[in-house]
Amino acid sequence: MRFPHAIIGAAAVALLLSGCTSGSSGDATGPINLPEDPASVTGDISYAIWDVNQQPAMEKLIADFNTTYPNVDVSVELTAFPQYFTKLQTQGSSGTLPDVFWMNGPNLQLFASNDMLAPLEPFEDADLFDPSNYPSAMNDIYTYDGTQYGVPKDFDTIALFYNKAILARAGVEAPTADWTWDDYHAAAKKISDTLGGEGIIGSGDSTRNQENVYPAVLSNGGTIIDGDKSGYDSPEAVEALQFWADMVADGSSLTPAANADTEGFDRFLNGQVGLVWGGNWRVSGVLESAVAADVSVAELPLAPTGERKTVIHGVANAMSAHSDNPEAAQAFLSYLGSEEAALIQAEAGAANPAFNGTQQDFVDSAPGMNLQVFEDAATDYAEAYPVSKNTGAWNKVELDLLPQAFSGERPVADVAKDLADQMNEALAKEK
């Protein structure tokens, strides 16, 4: 009676093997040949995102995608940002990544270097993706080891927000494109000195990396990461950090502790701050605030070098390298990178789309605010948001050490040296 067992066993093995081969019939990383007839692309795919405010726009995109590909069912998986990448990592290690998902700069290299993402070269070869449609710095963020992995979805740059009413009351002229750091400091000081009694402070700037530290360091000719080394201990970077420390020291700007209680930009929205550097994602919040009518935007002031720089960052759409339904996922990712999709996004006011020339809707969303500044920043003086393979490790070091410099607790140069050393240590571990 042993014989039947052997047969059953053999049959089971055969089944398993056939299951394997059928499972790997599609390839998520090889050349792409989407069928002539879109209706022949079928099946379910998942699309992971983290912003609930953008979900309606994403549903609109899917509906529009379905007019061309009626037989692909795309389901949106929403996870709040604090858990999003933790979940994505877990899904990556168990081989259950969503088919298409949002990616950000700090995580790109981590996922790309672990072969989690489908490279975009095959898309380019099949004319389904063209990097020249997007700001080049955005392409840089999503490129690892010479290969691009993310289709830029939207972008943000940094500019100077100011409250016209507060400036007028303090007798400060509205900022112009010629403002230098000294002009900026003097204006903030004058506001604090004049209106300090009412709890109004000149600048709402703080230790925010993306909005304050990075643009200042880059404007001054410094770097955050230079190759595989930290740029924080360069004289240019130290000078930029000193600029912020000086602002805090004489009350022109908020201390890190005051920022922990009520964040600088929230104070700006409450009408308690005259000037603040901020990203374009702040615009919708400004429009909903009580100060909406008084706010306008100008270029960042010029560093002592005579230059200005902004960091540019944004979300990208990426595809899993292990998608079970690569054909449908490829079709969807290609659609998400189209001008059509960018215009739908812009119209929904969800985000500032990354596709060149589709940002007019965003600029028009606040006609009096001069939002064109953000778009010009992207084309004229933007540098890629600094990332590495394990960005989180040194972001933590920045978070721990920079406040010590801005609060005046320790000399800026000492903190910068410490920061560079610890950051280099973290970067060395990435090898």
Question: Residue from 222, 274, 278, 403 that binds another protein (CB under 8 A)?
Answer: 403
110 contributes a contact to another protein by CB under 8 A: yes
Shortest CB 128 distance to another protein, Å: 27
In the window 240-259, what residues touch another protein (CB under 8 A)? 256-259
Of 109 and 352, CB closest to another protein: 109
Shortest CB 199 distance to another protein, Å: 8
Question: Residue from 75, 136, 262, 360 that binds another protein (CB under 8 A)?
Answer: 262
Of 369 and 402, CB closest to another protein: 402
Shortest CB 114 distance to another protein, Å: 5
In whole angstroms, give the CA distance from residue 356 to residue 110. Answer: 27
Q: What does the per-residue mask of binding to another protein show for 62-101, with x meaning CB under 8 A? A: ---------------------x--xx-xx-xx--------
In whole angstroms, give the CA distance from residue 430 to residue 253. Answer: 36
Shortest CB 209 distance to another protein, Å: 10
Shortest CB 384 distance to another protein, Å: 21
Shortest CB 99 distance to another protein, Å: 17
- Contact between 207 and 243 under an 8 Å Cβ cutoff? The reply is no
Chain centroid to CA 219: 19
In whole angstroms, give the CA distance from residue 61 to residue 214. Answer: 33
CA R_g for the chain: 25
Shortest CB 86 distance to another protein, Å: 4
Shortest CB 263 distance to another protein, Å: 9
Of 350 and 405, CB closest to another protein: 405
Size of the site for another protein (CB under 8 A): 30
Helical spans, DSSP H, in 54-135: 55-68, 81-93, 105-113, 121-125
DSSP one-letter string for 70-82: TTEEEEEEE--HH
Shortest CB 350 distance to another protein, Å: 26
In the window 319-358, what residues touch another protein (CB under 8 A)? none
Chain centroid to CA 154: 8
CA atoms within 13 A on the CB side of 174: 13
CB atoms near residue 409 (< 10 Å) = 10
Of 110 and 216, CB closest to another protein: 110
Shortest CB 275 distance to another protein, Å: 19
Q: Which stretch binds another protein (CB under 8 A): 117-125, 147-155, 347-355, 386-394?
A: 386-394
Q: Which stretch binds another protein (CB under 8 A): 109-117, 165-173, 187-195, 329-337?
A: 109-117
DSSP one-letter string for 201-212: EEE---S-IIII
Q: Which stretch binds another protein (CB under 8 A): 120-128, 175-183, 356-364, 389-397?
A: 389-397
In whole angstroms, give the CA distance from residue 423 to residue 409. Answer: 20
Shortest CB 67 distance to another protein, Å: 36
Q: 């919040």: which residue's tokens? A: 285
SS3 content of the chain, % helix, strand, coil (to 5): 50, 15, 35
Q: Write the burial class of residue 13 (CB in 10 Å: 0-12 exposed, 13-18 middle, 19+ buried).
A: exposed
Q: What does the per-residue mask of binding to another protein show for 206-225, with x meaning CB under 8 A? A: -x------------------
Task: Give ∠ CA 276-277-279 in degrees, rounded to 5.
Answer: 125
Of 272 and 358, CB closest to another protein: 272
Of 207 and 252, CB closest to another protein: 207
Helix (H) or strand (E) holding 149: none
Q: Write the burial class of residue 288 (CB in 10 Å: 0-12 exposed, 13-18 middle, 19+ buried).
A: exposed
Q: Write the burial class of residue 232 (CB in 10 Å: 0-12 exposed, 13-18 middle, 19+ buried).
A: buried
Q: Which stretch binds another protein (CB under 8 A): 41-49, 159-167, 311-319, 387-395?
A: 387-395
Of 63 and 260, CB closest to another protein: 260
Q: Which residues of 97-129 are buried (b: 16+ CB within 10 A; e: fewer)?
A: bbbbbbbbbbbbbbbbeeebbbbbbbbeeeebb
Of 64 and 77, CB closest to another protein: 77
Q: Which residues bind another protein (CB under 8 A)?
A: 83, 86-87, 89-90, 92-93, 110, 114, 116, 199, 207, 256-262, 390, 392-393, 395-396, 399-400, 403-404, 407, 426
